[in-house]
Structure 1
């Protein structure tokens, strides 16, 4: 009789524990996306236009309980890598082209309210007077144009551990025909110094290092790279303390700077087409739209 009672109690205990475990799993699965990620969106440097657009998105979608975490491109990708390996939910500010889309299975959240605008282009912008002071550099910068796929080769090499200058030099060597077209019939300008401004986005690190390599190897310039935030980058071109940038995201991301410094620079047009901005999540997350965050 006693053995039967003990068995009955053990069975009841196991059922109770199973019910509790089931309730715990159900509660976890029923937790909102906001609860799962602590109502945080992992951002990049505070001066980036992407951060401004994300702040606007929080207003547009009435996401009052959400926080946009400032940081850097490197910090954002580090957080993404950690969460992805653990199959945990995470929401980051993202853009294309970027090497993370090749490394991870990611998706953009749809933006029905259009907070992030339409797809953009990356433009080459130079200081006033560069065509006269450094005609060969000006002509090369005017011809510079490549594809997201070509940029991704450099970005991926850097992400895998190569130094940016080494990855750029390897790409220039492997794409001799394209590079030769950028510098065809241009005179050498040995010893002349140039300053290229850029923001520390992986895409801009790639493009600026490629341009620097071509200007130095093919045309004889001495090039200094100036890593700054978006505001100082545009200000440097406008006041002449920097000569050029190949990192102007238009027409939306850098719209404020475009208007602020109008007439104080020369826009040479797009050097890359096919960009995109928005909120990015791993594909294993079930949400599909920014509206799902509310």
Structure 2
């Protein structure tokens, strides 16, 4: 049985998502700028995440007077939903793949300074020695690969109220051909222990629960450990957890990876096409992060 160890309830590309409406009614003066209407505040996620550091750097380098407020992934998406329902402007930190890009009509702002970098990927990274310790798990984790569309389909079902494990199990059932590529040629085990860590982002909740169930089907006793980004990498480097499928590289988790590279092994991307940046609704008359400058 998979055991979920929730140390903290909080929720590839990172982004700031900006939400406002053309022609919307607002309790604030319509002559006010977008920044003034929002008091120049951005709703962030957990303070230890790499995207928060990138956002702070972007706000500084683009000479804005916005301030970043830490919260959690769940709080961020709730703030986004509330603002959307009331047709009020909001700026939040976000990332893709993420269900909000299917639910809302958004676009990325140009990032001329390249603060958020190019497109990213999520990598599977394991504690060194896993290949010898748990060869079957190592093989499955090494073969694990899916698309942003796969990830987002799981996220959407969970966001719609589906049970995480049930949604993950249904995806595995519906995508048996894909899963068989991950498990082809490996030998099942009998109750060997494995611990997977992940951050509470919707995309990583989806990927970790899916691969966790696949490993369970291979005979492993799987424990899922939910933590912030910093503790996740610390636990992986120390061997307190065996693997993660939630490494955002080459930019977002670059410092964490660099600090722990002597103790971990990068098995390569498990999802390509993640992206970081600022995001706005397509109907907004704004195209670049530079438009947020003072």
What does 1:38-57 align with in structure 2 at a 5 Å threshold? 38-57=39-58
Pairwise CA distance, 1:92: 1.2
Q: 8 Å contact 1:91–1:279 — kept in the other structure?
A: no
Residue 74 of structure 1 corresponds to 74
Moved over 4 A (4+): none
Query: Shift in Å at residue 280 of structure 1?
Result: 2.4
Q: State the shift of 1:47 in Å.
A: 0.9
Partner of 1:291: 290
| Structure 2: unaligned runs, 5 residues or longer | 1-25
Tell me how far apart the structure 2 counterparts of residues 126 and 98 of structure 1 sit (CA, whole Å). Answer: 24
Query: What TM-score do the two structures reach when normalised by structure 2?
Result: 0.88
Structure 1 CA distance, aligned partners of 2:202 and 2:39? 27
Determine if contact 1:123/1:248 at 8 Å carries over to the other structure.
yes
CA distance in 1: counterparts of 2:73 and 2:226, whole angstroms:
13
User: What do residues 24-60 of structure 1 show as CA deviations (whole Å, max 9, x unaligned)?
Assistant: x9x9333112101110111111111110000000110
Q: How much does 1:287 deviate?
A: 2.4
Distance in 2 of aligned mates of 1:247 and 1:123: 6
> Residues of 2 paired with 1:80 and 1:58: CA distance?
20
3-state SS of paired residue (1:126):
strand
CA deviation after TM superposition for structure 1 residue 105, in Å = 1.1
1:160-204 deviation per Cα after TM superposition (whole angstroms, max 9, x unaligned): 001111110000000011111111121111110100000000000
**Partner Cα distance (2:39, 2:108) in 1:** 20
Using the alignment, how far apart are the partners of 2:282 and 2:72 within structure 1? 23
CA contact (8 A) 1:195 1:223 kept: yes
Q: Identify the structure with bigger relative contact order (alpha carbons < 8 Å, sequence gap 6+).
A: 2
Where in structure 2 are the equivalents of 1:108-187 lying within 5 Å? 108-187=108-187
Aligned counterparts of 2:224 and 2:85: Cα–Cα separation in 1: 34
Cα distance, 1:211 vs. partner? 0.4
TM (normalized to structure 1)? Answer: 0.88
Alpha-carbon distance in 1 for matches of 2:143, 2:34: 46
How many residues are paired up? 267
Question: Secondary structure in 1 aligned to 2:90?
Answer: coil
Q: Distance in 2 between matches of 1:57 and 1:131?
A: 39
Match of residue 250 from structure 2:
251
Question: Please, which moves more after superposition, 183-192 or 275-284?
Answer: 275-284
Partner Cα separation in structure 1 for residue 80 and residue 285 of structure 2: 17
Are 1:43 and 1:76, in contact at CA under 8 Å, matched by a contact in 2?
Answer: yes
Higher helix content, 1 or 2? 1
Give 1:31's aligned residue: 32
Q: State the 1:288 CA deviation.
A: 2.2
Which residue does 2:107 correspond to in 1?
A: 107
Q: Cα deviation per residue 1:66-119 (whole Å; 9 max; x = unaligned)?
A: 110101111111011111112211111121100000011122222111111111
Cα distance in 2 for partners of 1:288, 1:93 equals 17
Contact 1:196 1:223 (C-alpha < 8 Å) held by counterparts: yes
Task: Decide whether the 8 Å contact of 1:90 with 1:282 is kept in 2.
Answer: no
Find the counterpart in structure 1 of residue 211 from structure 2.
211
Name structure 1 gaps, 5 residues minimum. 1-24
- Deviation for aligned residue 1:205: 0.2
Contact 1:84–1:282 (CA under 8 A) maintained in structure 2: no
Rounded Cα–Cα distance in structure 1 between residues aligned with 2:163 and 2:279? 27
Matched with 1:62 is 63
In the other structure, the counterpart of 2:222 is: 223
Q: Rg bigger for which structure?
A: 1
Instruction: Spell out, residue by residue over 1:212-271, the C-alpha distance to the aligned partner (whole angstroms, 9 max, x if none).
Output: 010002x11010000001111111111100000000000100011111112110000000
